[in-house]
Amino acid sequence: MTDATAHLARHLADLQTWDSEADDTLVCTAVVDETHDVRTFVFEPPEPRRFAYRPGQFLTFEFALPSGPVNRCYTISSSPLRPHTVAITVKRVPNGPVSNWLHDHCAPGTAVKAIGPMGEFSCLDDPAPKYLFLSGGSGITPLMAMSRAFADLGRPVDVVFVHAARTPGDIVFRAELDLIARRLPGFRVAHLPERAGGEAGWAGPLGRLSAEFLALVAPDFKERSVWCCGPEPFMNAARSLLGALGHDPRLYHQESFDFAKLASAEPEVAAEVLDAEAAEAAAVPTYDVTFTKLGQTVKVRADQFILAAARDQGVRLAASCTEGLCGTCKAKIVSGTVDMSHKGGIRKKEVDQGLFLPCCSKPKSDLVVDR
Partner 1 sequence: MLDTTSVSPRALLARRKPGFSLEQAFYTSQEIFDLDLEAIFFRTWIYVGVEPDVPDEGDVMVVDIGRASVLILRDDDGEIRAFHNVCRHRGARIVHDEKSSVGKLVCKYHAWTYDLDGKLLRAEHMGADFDTSCHGLKPVHLKSVEGLLFICLADEAPADIDDLAEKMGPYLKPHAIRDTKVAHQVDLIELGNWKITMENNRECYHCAGNHPELTIPLFEYGFGFSPESMDETKAKEAHRYECMVDDLHGEWEGSGFPSKEIDHLDDRVTGFRTQRLPIDRAGESQTLDTKVASTKLLGELTEAKMGGLSFWTQPNSWHHFMSDHIVTFSVIPLSPDRTLLRTKWLVHKDAVEGVDYDLKRLTEVWIATNDQDGTLVGYQHSGVKSPAYEPGPYSPYTEGLVEKFVNWYCLRLADHLG
Ligand X SMILES: Cc1cc2nc3c(=O)[nH]c(=O)nc-3n(C[C@H](O)[C@H](O)[C@H](O)COP(=O)(O)OP(=O)(O)OC[C@H]3O[C@@H](n4cnc5c(N)ncnc54)[C@H](O)[C@@H]3O)c2cc1C
How many whole angstroms separate alpha carbon 76 and alpha carbon 234?
Answer: 21
Give how many residues touch partner 1 by CB under 8 A. Answer: 13
Considering only 36, 105, 299, 347, the residue that binds partner 1 (CB under 8 A) is 347
Binding mask 261-300 for partner 1 (x = CB under 8 A): ----------------------------------------
How many whole angstroms separate alpha carbon 125 and alpha carbon 323?
Answer: 47
Contacts of 108 (CB under 8 A, 6+ apart): 28, 29, 30, 31
**Interaction partner, residue 329 (partner 1, ligand X, ligand FES, none; CB < 5-8 Å by kind):** ligand FES
Binding mask 22-41 for ligand X (x = CB under 6 A): --------------------
Position 70: which residue type?
V
**Interaction partner, residue 48 (ligand FES, partner 1, ligand X, none; CB < 5-8 Å by kind):** none
- Given the rule CB under 6 A, which of 73-81, 186-194, 242-250, 358-366 is the region that contacts ligand X? 73-81
Using rule CB under 6 A, residue 210 touches ligand FES: no
3-state secondary structure of 363: strand
Give how far Cα 13 sits from Cα of 3, 48, 84, 199, Å: 16, 9, 11, 46
Alpha helices of the chain — where are they, by DSSP H? 3-11, 97-105, 140-153, 174-183, 211-217, 232-244, 259-265, 267-282, 306-312, 348-352
Using rule CB under 6 A, residue 254 touches ligand X: no
How many whole angstroms separate alpha carbon 307 and alpha carbon 72?
Answer: 22
| Cα torsion angle, 332, 338, 342, 347, sign | positive
Residue 196 CB coordination number (10 Å): 15
- Given the rule CB under 8 A, which of 37-45, 132-140, 142-150, 320-328 is the region that contacts partner 1? 320-328
Any bridge partners for residue 118, and if so which?
Answer: 58
Using rule CB under 6 A, residue 5 touches ligand X: no
Residue 117, preceding bond cis, omega within 30 degrees? yes
Considering only 320, 337, 341, 353, the residue that binds ligand FES (CB under 6 A) is 320
Contacts of 321 (CB under 8 A, 6+ apart): 328, 345, 359
**Interaction partner, residue 95 (partner 1, ligand FES, ligand X, none; CB < 5-8 Å by kind):** ligand X
Using rule CB under 6 A, residue 71 touches ligand X: no
**Interaction partner, residue 224 (partner 1, ligand FES, ligand X, none; CB < 5-8 Å by kind):** none
Q: Which residue number, 117 or 327, has a Cβ lying nearer to ligand X?
A: 117
Considering only 155, 182, 250, 349, the residue that binds partner 1 (CB under 8 A) is 349
Using rule CB under 8 A, residue 327 touches partner 1: yes
Sites of contact with ligand FES (CB under 6 A)? 319-322, 324-329, 345, 357, 359
